[in-house]
Amino acid sequence: MKHSTRLISGVGALAVTALALAGCSSGGSGTSTSAADGDGGELTPVSLQLQWYSQAQFAGYYAALEQGYYEDEGLDVTILEGAADIVPIDVLTGGDADFAISWVPKVLGSIEQGAAVTDIAQIFERSGTTQVSFKDENITTAADLAGKSVGSWGYGNEWELFAGMAKAGVTLDKISLVQQAFDMSGFLAGDIQAAQAMTYNEYAQVLETVNPATGELYQPDELNLIDWNKEGTAMLQDAIWADSDRLADDADYADTAVKFIKASIKGWAYARDNAAEAAAIVTDSGSQLGESHQLWMTNEVNKLIWPSTSGVGMINQDQWDQTVKIAMDTPNETGATVITSEPPATAYSNEYVEKALAELKDEGVDVMGADFEPITVELKEGGN
C-alpha cells in the first residue's frame, strides 16, 4: 500500500513531487483504500491551507498525511503552504481550499467583515505567544514592561500583549513600542528589551545563538518569559476553519469535515507520542528549518495541545469568551479593536469535533493525553 504526500507551496506555486512510502504503516493505517473509504476506492479530494510555511507548528497534519490517516478516512489531502502575503481565510472563502488553519482573533475580524467561516476544531488549547527578555532586565510580568522598549510584530499578533499591559495598568505611553521584524535580530542587538516570541519558534532562535560573552549558546536561565496564559490574557490560536455555508448546505462537506478532524487529531496524537519522527516528517516535506529546531517546535507545540481539558479540538466556552472579550475591549496603538460586536453563533461549533472524538475514542485513540510529558530537546547553533 502507498500513502501519497502532496504539498503545494503558497509561494510561486512551487509544486512538490509526491513521496511514495512503500509498505503499510503501523497505528491502524494499514487498511486498504477501498475498504477505508467505502466508496469503490475513490478518495475525496481535500485541500488544507496553512497559515505559514511548512514547519512543525503543523506537524499533526503532515503526520496524518504521511501515516495514511487521511487516506484511511477516504480523503486525498493536499497541504497548501502559507506565506506572508497569504490570508488563509481569504483562500477558504474564495473557494481555493476546503479547510484552513488560522488564529481565532485574526479570523474574528474577518467574520465581522463578512467572512462566513466556522471554527470546527480548536487544536491549540494554549497560547504560544510570549515576551522574552534578558534576566538582568528584571521583566517577569506585564507590569514590568513600564519604561521598557517592547517589541510587537503587529499584523494581528499584538492583542495578547496589549491586553496584558492593560490588565497590569501599563498604558502605551509608558512603554517604547518597537515595530519588531519576524525574527530576534532587534532583541539580540539590544534594540528591544522585551521582544515578542513564540515558544516554538523565535524563543528557540535565541537559544540557537551564541552568547558572545560566553562563547556558548544562550541558555534558558539567562532569559525571562512573560507567559500570557499565566497573565490571563491568552487568546485561542491555531484552529481548523471550515466554510459555514457549505457546512449548512452540503451534507457531504459536513461529513468530510468530521473525517478530516478525526484524521488530523490522530496525526497530532502521533506527533505527541513520536515527536522525533513527526519532526522528521515535516523536515522531509521541504521545510527550510533545521532538524533540532523542528524537534524543538514539535515538542513546544505539543505543550500547547496536551494534556487536553475536554478532548483535542473541543472549543472550551471560557477560552472562547476570553478571546472574544479581549478582541472587543482591547485597543491597539491606533485605538482600533479586533471586532466591535459579538461574533455570530456560527463562528464556532463543537458538533463536528464531538463526532470525530467519539469515533477516535471507540478506536482506542487517546484524545486527552493526560500522561503527556514533554521531551528534552538539545538545540544546535542555527537550529541545525
Sign of the Cα pseudo-torsion (293, 100, 126, 354, in order): negative
Rg of the chain (C-alpha set): 21
In whole angstroms, what is the distance from residue 350 CA to residue 157 CA? 25
C-alpha dihedral (197, 198, 204, 205), degrees to nearest 10: -50
The predicted-structure confidence for 88-137, as pLDDT tens digits, reads as follows 999 999 999 999 999 999 999 999 999 999 999 999 999 999 999 999 99
Dist CA 7 CA 324 (whole Å): 33
Average pLDDT over residues 78-84: 96
Average pLDDT, the chain: 91
β 223-227/75-80 pair status: unpaired
Contacts of 11 (CB under 8 A, 6+ apart): 53, 81, 83
Which of 73-82, 218-227, 239-248, 286-295 shows the lowest mean pLDDT across its residues? Answer: 286-295
- Assess whether pLDDT exceeds 50 at residue 23: no
User: What pLDDT does residue 1 have?
Assistant: 29
Say whether the peptide bond before residue 307 is cis (omega within 30 degrees of 0): yes
pLDDT at 16: 31
**Residues 282-319: pLDDT tens digits?**
999 999 899 999 999 999 999 999 999 999 999 999 99
Question: What distance lies between CA 90 and its chain's CA centroid?
Answer: 18
Q: What percentage of the chain carries pLDDT values higher than 70?
A: 90
Q: Is the pLDDT confidence value at 35 over 90?
A: no
pLDDT at 10 over 60: no
pLDDT score, position 22 = 26
CB 224 within 8 A of CB 139: yes
Q: Where are the alpha helices (DSSP H) in the chain?
A: 33-37, 59-66, 69-72, 88-93, 104-112, 159-167, 185-188, 202-207, 228-231, 244-249, 251-273, 275-284, 291-305, 317-329, 351-362
Its pTM stands at 0.90
* pLDDT over 90 percentage in the chain: 88
Q: Say what the pLDDT of residue 41 is.
A: 77
Residue 270: name the closest of 24, 60, 62 by CA.
60
- Condensed to tens digits (0 to 9), the pLDDT of residues 317-326 reads 999 999 999 9
Would you state the pLDDT for residue 154? 92
| pLDDT value at 26 more than 60 | no
pLDDT the model gives residue 40: 53
Q: What is the mean pLDDT of residues 259-266?
A: 99
In the DSSP assignment, the letter for residue 344 is P
Is residue 151 within 8 Å of 195, Cβ to Cβ?
Answer: yes
In 362-380, which positions are buried (b, 16+ CB within 10 angstroms) versus exposed (e)?
Answer: eeebbbbbeeeeeeebebe
